[in-house]
Structure 1
């Protein structure tokens, strides 16, 4: 695997930071390439060397965070729902500016759908409808309910500016997941 030039990484990071900062100030649709260029202190041409447009930049930023959450899902089998939720809520906390913009504002409504789609995929293997509490329930319905609920609670947490700590959020989400999935 070839090593990526540090200058490229630095430019891409500056652009990702710029888009988040600008989205905190105004609607994404109102952000121009010139705004991004000015904020990141790079030329417009440099932006187009890395991204097709501002939508591509935002899409890559979203994909970076979804991939990081996916990577964190690959936890050892002995991790229960509470510990697994803590892994995620720590990530939400450490990337507060991104997630709060994506979930608590009108900045990027398509992020919510991507996050939901990701969670549906992750929860697909957690729901067993062949026995227990979910016996004979429609598995797709249960998974959709679970993923939608999870997104809704995380969205509530950001919208209300973290009314509980990320540890409490993880503990309670994990407990709820255990009740539904076991």
Structure 2
């Protein structure tokens, strides 16, 4: 008689987790091959090698499936700079050879989840997911700014600083994926660190008068 334990970590739970991962991987794989609008639930179940009834036991449709994937990935992205992630917040100082650990964690996360981010940034027409990604990046920068020097007086309003930082990073990340990540996560994190430390004008080569 098969064991069907419902305890966390039991055989049933492990099978559910494995099935959900197979289905999620199948959708992402298909989304790299054809437009999301053309993907059918049948395509997903065939790629994942599961029954349609199994799919519908976990997800209402492909939209809910993609939403669950996005929720998981983007939640992790936004929390990279939170205390629970375990990174220490070094003071902002000039070090042109060492990337900010938060920026490095950001680009490593993007690289590890490349398929998902490449899909929402370069293949999907729906802008809602990229908008959610922008909000997660904004949350990332908010945590980074406030964790290092919470009592530091800002020279520009926080909302403008966050809009500038998150929008600039988003554009850079999108271009990074469009160019097939020709630079490593470490290199990208280092350049973002240098731009942040130098400021836009000094990064262009202008020296203060």
Q: Same fold (TM over 0.5)?
A: yes
Shift of residue 62, structure 1, vs aligned partner? 0.9
The residue number in structure 1 matching 2:127 is 109
2:118 aligned with 1:100: yes
The residue number in structure 1 matching 2:171 is 152
The residue number in structure 1 matching 2:34 is 26
Which structure's CA Rg is the greater one?
2
Shift of residue 107, structure 1, vs aligned partner? 5.7
The residue number in structure 2 matching 1:118 is 136
CA deviation vs aligned residue, 1:76-102 (integer Å, no higher than 9, x gap): 334566211111212222222222222
2:162 aligned with 1:143: yes
Task: For structure 2, list consecutive stretches of 5 or more residues without a partner in the other structure.
Answer: 1-6, 92-98, 200-209
Report how many residues are paired. 176
Task: For structure 1, list consecutive stretches of 5 or more residues without a partner in the other structure.
Answer: none
- Output the TM-score relative to the length of structure 2: 0.75
Single out whichever of 105-114 and 139-148 deviates more from structure 2: 105-114
**1-structure distance, mates of 2:139, 2:108:** 21
What is the alpha-carbon root mean square deviation over aligned residues?
Answer: 2.4
The residue number in structure 1 matching 2:181 is 162
- Output the TM-score relative to the length of structure 1: 0.85
2:24 aligned with 1:16: yes
Change (3 A) 1:107 1:41: farther
- Following superposition of structure 1 onto structure 2, how do residues 29-48 of structure 1 map, counting pairs within 5 Å? 29-48=37-56
**2-structure distance, mates of 1:60, 1:108:** 16
The residue number in structure 1 matching 2:57 is 49
The residue number in structure 2 matching 1:75 is 86
Bigger proportion of residues as helix: 1
**2-structure distance, mates of 1:50, 1:100:** 25
